[in-house]
């Protein structure tokens, strides 16, 4: 029953995640992408890459704060969609912007720092996408796999920097993405540090209790 329910939700989520692409396609068919459709496609696919990276990174905090353990089962899909939109974003650049001019692309990657970091962000996603299968988790072992997949933090950070370095003067939007990413990473830092601090405090209390037992209740 529960599995069936989640299966249905997954199909729904899968289709929903394609909505940005279909919106672009729909507007393309109806000549509604404005004067510079290639720019719209480039910006839109880039933005959705970032959004899906942030969604992927929200899943663990959300499932713990809202106590919805099954949310984890949507994480891979979100991550792969981030990679998918990232690939579309790259393809837009390679095809519609550079027309497969390898020399020109390489020069840009070396010379334009926003392209350098953008490319790095996408490259970092590649091993994550490849090892997203059950088989790879088995081959790597859960612990190594999860260490490898911490690369998403770097990828998302580089993605935000890529956006920040691109804008001409109005930094509000990239900063907004940066703040959300910052919150998501801080939450992880907290989740990592707080139990350790508590453990230290508890252990200290334990030692103290050993040597000089504290009174519980003064009455």
Partner 1 sequence: MLIKKKSDIPSSEITPQETYFNRREFMIGAAAAAAIATGARYVGEMASPSQVVHAENKLNVASKSPFSTTEAQTPYNDITNYNNYYEFGTDKYSPAKLAQTLQTRPWTVEVDGLVKKKKTYDIDYFLKTFSIEERIYRLRCVEGWSMVIPWDGFPLSSFLKQVEPASKAKFVKFTTKYDPREMPGQRYGVLDWPYVEGLRLDEAMNPLAILAVGLYGGELPKQDGAPIRLVVPWKYGFKSIKSIVKISLVDKQPPTTWNMAAPNEYGFYSNVNPNVDHPRWSQKKERRIGEFFKRDTLMFNGYGDQVASLYNGMDLKKYF
Among 7, 139, 150, 176, the residue binding partner 1 under the rule CB under 8 A is 7
Residue 28: CB atoms within 10 Å: 13
Among 51, 62, 80, 148, the residue binding partner 1 under the rule CB under 8 A is 80
Among 1, 66, 67, 143, the residue binding partner 1 under the rule CB under 8 A is 143
What is the contact mask toward partner 1 in residues 90 to 129, using x (rule: CB under 8 A)?
-x----xx-x--------x--xxxx---------------
CB of 32 vs partner 1, minimal distance in Å: 9
Restricting to residues 52-71, which ones interact with partner 1 according to CB under 8 A? none
Among 1, 34, 66, 67, the residue binding partner 1 under the rule CB under 8 A is 34
Would you tell me which residues interact with partner 1 (CB under 8 A)? Answer: 3, 7, 10-11, 14, 18, 21-22, 24-29, 31, 33-39, 41, 72-73, 76-77, 80, 84, 87-88, 91, 96-97, 99, 108, 111-114, 134, 137, 141-143, 145-146, 165-166, 168-170, 199, 206
């Amino acid at each position: 029953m529960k599995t069936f329910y989640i299966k249905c939700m997954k199909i729904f989520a899968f289709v929903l995640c394609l909505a940005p692409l279909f919106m672009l396609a729909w507007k393309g068919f109806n000549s509604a992408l404005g004067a510079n459709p290639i720019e719209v496609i480039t910006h839109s696919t880039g933005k959705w890459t970032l959004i899906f990276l942030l969604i992927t990174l929200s899943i663990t905090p959300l499932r713990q704060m809202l106590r919805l353990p099954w949310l984890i089962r949507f994480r891979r899909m979100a991550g792969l969609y981030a990679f998918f939109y990232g690939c579309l974003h790259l393809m837009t650049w390679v095809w519609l912007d550079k027309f497969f001019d390898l020399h020109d692309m390489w020069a840009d990657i070396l010379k334009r720092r926003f392209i350098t970091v953008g490319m790095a962000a996408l490259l970092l996603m590649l091993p994550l996408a490849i090892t997203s299968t059950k088989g790879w988790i088995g081959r790597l072992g859960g612990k190594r796999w999860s260490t490898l997949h911490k690369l998403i933090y770097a990828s998302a950070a580089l993605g935000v920097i890529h956006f920040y370095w691109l804008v001409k003067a109005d930094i509000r939007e990239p900063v907004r993405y940066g703040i959300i990413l910052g919150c998501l990473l801080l939450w992880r830092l907290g989740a990592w540090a707080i139990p350790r601090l508590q453990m230290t405090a508890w252990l200290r209390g334990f030692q103290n209790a050993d040597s000089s037992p504290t009174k519980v209740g003064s009455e």
